[in-house]
Structure 1
């Protein structure tokens, strides 16, 4: 019988093209890439042997029987290995290569091993195939087992995709199903028309699909710097952690890119990042470098010697300015070093830890090296535990509200309250508000926390509404993310009105940095609050770099001076003059001025002398629970 080889020739060309394109790009050493390389190599050999065996078998010469038998044996060897290799590839994609039970991992090898033994034994038994005296190819009594083996694993692949396929990305799932249907169609067509060799063609087309969607190095490469991206890092580092391989990390976060883009333009900024990426590659002499975010690079080093060399080299490299388009540009960065990063155990923990380390030196403007140690790691673990507990706290409403009375100099009594969030961990104790509020903002839970707290405040006022005859309003803090959320103002107003309370009982506080970040949602929220009678208070005035013109365009009724401005007023005349001048200006503009952070009698007397309207601080009262507050203001 003469076989038609045109499809196999096409297959060989296609596999060769894939191999040339794949090996011309840099790639990382991970299970998926190793499997793909093996799959690619065996596919090429399989197609070549299929062509060769067709030529030999079709010739019918008895003189080449031994060669024919050897070639076909190798061909069926590849067939068995390729089928099992595709199954292993599917296990990696669906995350099932990490089987809990060793017997199950061993069990998947039994059938391929048995088939390889059967193919080897066939040289003596002829159960699968043999050549007669005239050199003609004859199928053996058990030749059907070869097809049965392939069909079995194809069904197993279907089962795996149905059971575990959802763990893979949608496009990857589609690719696997397309590959499966193409190969199945080619297999059935070849069984129906024996002369046309199609299985190799189906295999090569499937490989092309896999390469384009799953193993194309270009898909995981940052287009600007040529480094690998975060998506690739997540996949690759997860395998290193699973294998418990030791590795060390260097993260470089560009701190002044916004300033560079603003002064020199984005073109210079982009060139700076490209030059920096090139420098990092040369210093580390490694392809294991990733661009995790727009301004953050991450190098993975396998030995401590390489790590220390790269760390010192990068620090020295960033000390020198870059000359780009005739501009002298400095690259200020936070360099975070983590030795034995495998101890963090999870890829998301690694990136969170880097983010935490960067936050510790966020106020520094120059290039700073921060090396991980037990104290920093302990702080990170603390935040991780708070983050985990915060989810439970939101779900079960474990927050408390404390109230700090605000003293009026004119009335000689407390006339307003500030509602403050508190959260107690069963083991860690009271969690600092700036810690859990910061985490809540980062995790997108601050709106939920705000609503829970406002409900508590409303219930308290409803149950003790008589205090509002004395207390003018309750101040309630709003976060930036809350105000920027469309429609959130109506949610807050709805909560207040749901308790049948007068919205005028409330005064919402926002910080000066929020006040300068105008957005449509922000302006709409301010208008909504004003419409129902909720007043606004500017909090932490003087703590940042506010655009005063922008701040003062918002209809605030009160301004709260940041506690940092009060530091030194009782000992430094210049500081005292500055503070008093700000108070006079704000009052002249019609604002009620609240001095925050007063702790000593001397500070209070100075504030009274300067005519401050209200004072809030530990001198008069610490934040109190509901019961103690009622005692305090009665």
Structure 2
């Protein structure tokens, strides 16, 4: 409890400063406290209540150090107050951290004033301004500054502050190696003085755009840096208040390279680096638009490498890929700069010839393309010959759209294949009809086996001298509900091209051997059956095992099976062909060369491979009685074959005169309409039974 003397003194003091107190009582935004010589509170305004948490009645009479002074500076405050009272040393205004009633820190700016009243008693008044908001703002500013510094350090972007005329005021670079020139050369300098002219123009153009539309403007550019060509993205923003430009520059070289790689993969073939189908079609569309505008011709050349599958099958895909790259290079070397070579896939290429004035220009290009493939490819010390077949479609004669021209060029290419390969063919309407028929056959062939549309016919083979039946050749026939009867010479090449010949060929072998078992049992004769093998079948690695299994399943001895092949099987001269020959020969199966005389190298094949039989093509037999050259050729062939230990079979024997001539020349066997046309299995059983009876009678 306060003494009456102290109360009187406080009362006198409050009265003395009543006017001042009334002023401070009206201001609650500022804390004002009054202290006597003993540092006891004689005044405590509302601002002090709000700032320090003590009510006026709680603070009155309490000592300063017991209220708001932290323990760490308690003695310093007491000493400073004493020095002012006794020695007149003022306490300077300063920022200081005091204490709230709840113990929390209170940051203030504190200033002090000393009065002496009529009792000669000194009074100190403290005026404290709350700095909490200021400190918080400072802390936030420091945090943001630290955060920005951290961001600047973490990200690779370059930051520039410049005037709107392009003068650099300031910059930040995490890695100064990314700078085009050193800071000494650009800080305070205009971009005119150190950037290439085209980049300066680009910057100023976009700065003008920024000033007009505000917001953010971005653009890209490239620079030749010491480490090579680099790509950058610039984003500029306007500080309108200061009329300054902030530019953030990002190195996008890696992104550009990645994007370029993606674009290249999207538009160019990964193996040959030629334009792929997508890009080739795009360029074709552009060329067509140009040709229409300028009233010019253009040509689409569809190119296919002949028998390329044999290369992959025999030498492997790695060698095949290398050859494709070499072939692509040769195609590019021949064409003009304004033309395009593209790879459509596999061994198919397209050449687009632009701005042609006549067909002669097209012919020159086609002949140059064919000529460039007449030189062998040298690969890993191996000499490899490749030939190409070319189909040509001309705008506007053969089509006005991309799809029409490509389809018609493809059609012409197939015609070139049919003409013997290593040649070219121009598209015609007749050719289009042929290709439509081909596509229909391909489509219907897919389900032909499953629908039992194929049937094996048999043409008897006979001894020329006795006309006794010694066997038959199995010949495939196809009747389709949609297309009717389809000739073998029409569907067999298509089956060969599509690969369907393999399952179809297995069907023929199985049917023929099953029939042979039945035929031999009924007639009690050692008949043989001849089956044709296509080049594609002969390349099938499972062929020999399939034949071996089928012979076993049908209980047929190998010597009663005769496999007929043409020169097409032998043309590649690969080692697997000789191996297949050897395996077939070791089984005891006979091998015949079919259509002898129609190829180019038959004699060398007869010497190289273990043939058992030779079949003379019907084209020579037809003229044997009327054309001395044909007769002499057949005579020489029979004599040569016999000298090699080969049996000779004549195809296409249709008259008694032909039969008699063949008998005279020493031919072993024959087949043809003279004895019988190809007939179904049941008819052959009846025919052979009747024929046997005639011979016996």
TM-score by length of 1: 0.58
2:361 maps to which of 290, 313, 317:
313
Residue 157 of structure 2: aligned partner:
7
Task: Classify the secondary structure of the residue corresponding to 2:678.
Answer: coil
1:429 is aligned, of 464, 484, 496, to 484
1:410-450 CA-to-partner distances (Å, cap 9, x unmatched) read 33222111011222232332222233221222222322221
The residue aligned with 1:123 is none
How far is the alpha carbon of 1:389 from its aligned partner?
1.9
Match of 2:215 in 1: 72
Q: Structure 1 unaligned runs (5+)?
A: 17-43, 57-63, 80-128, 138-194, 259-269
Q: Deviations over 1:485-526 (max 9, x none)?
A: 334211221122223333333111112453465433222322
Residue 251 of structure 1 pairs with residue 295 of structure 2: no
Contact 1:237 1:347 in 2 (8 A): no
- Higher Cα Rg, which structure: 2
Asked if 1:237 is matched to 2:237, the reply is no
Match of 2:420 in 1: 362
- Aligned mates of 2:565, 2:504 — CA distance in 1: 16
More strand by share: 2
Q: Deviations over 1:215-248 (max 9, x none)?
A: 379955997xxxx73x524543279689998895
Q: Name the SS of the counterpart of 1:215 in structure 2.
A: helix
**Tell me, which stretches of 5 or more residues in structure 2 are unaligned?**
1-144, 160-172, 181-197, 221-236, 309-324, 376-386, 690-697
| Residues in 1 aligned to 2:406 and 2:659: alpha-carbon distance in whole angstroms | 49
Residue of structure 1 in register with 2:260 after alignment: 211
Q: Distance in 1 between matches of 2:658 and 2:303?
A: 42
1:351-409 per-position Cα deviation (integer Å, ceiling 9, x unaligned) = 642421322543797xx6x4322111001111121122222225555322111111212
CA distance in 2, matches of 1:549, 1:209: 56
Mapped to 1, the partners of 2:555 and 2:286 lie a distance apart of 57
| Cα deviation code 1:102-126 (max 9, x no counterpart) | xxxxxxxxxxxxxxxxxxxxxxxxx
The equivalent residue for 1:169 is: none
In structure 2, C-alpha distance between the alignment counterparts of 1:135 and 1:508, rounded to whole Å: 94
Please give the per-residue CA displacement for 1:507-557, whole angstroms capped at 9, x wherever unaligned.
111124534654332223223223332222221121212252442343332
Q: TM-score, normalised by structure 2?
A: 0.53
Higher RCO, 1 vs 2 (CA within 8 Å, ≥6 residues apart): 1
Indicate the structure with greater helix content. 1
Asked whether the equivalents of residues 215 and 238 of structure 2 are also in contact (C-alpha less than 8 Å), the reply is no
Paired residues of 2:563 and 2:590 also in contact (CA < 8 A): yes
Tell me, what secondary structure is at the counterpart of 2:625? coil
1:579 aligns with 2:634: yes
For 1:406-417, list aligned pairs within 5 A.
406-417=461-472
For residue 599 of structure 1, give the secondary structure of its aligned residue in structure 2: coil
Aligned residue in 2 for 1:479: 534
Residues 299 and 526 of structure 1: CA distance in aligned 2, closer, same or farther (over 3 Å): closer
1:589 to 625, 638, 644: 644
The 2-side partners of 1:321 and 1:344 are apart by 22
Q: How many residues end up aligned between the 2 structures?
A: 451
TM-aligned CA distance change 1:211 to 1:319, over 3 Å? closer
Tell me, in whole angstroms, the C-alpha distance in 2 between the residues paired with 1:242 and 1:389.
Answer: 37
- Give the 3 Å change call, closer, same or farther, for CA 254–518 of structure 1 in structure 2: closer
SS at structure 1 position matched to 2:609: coil
Aligned to 2:505: 450
Counterpart CA distance in 2 for 1:512 and 1:249 is: 35
2:560 maps to: 505
Let me know the Cα RMSD of the aligned residues: 5.2
SS in 2 for 1:281: coil
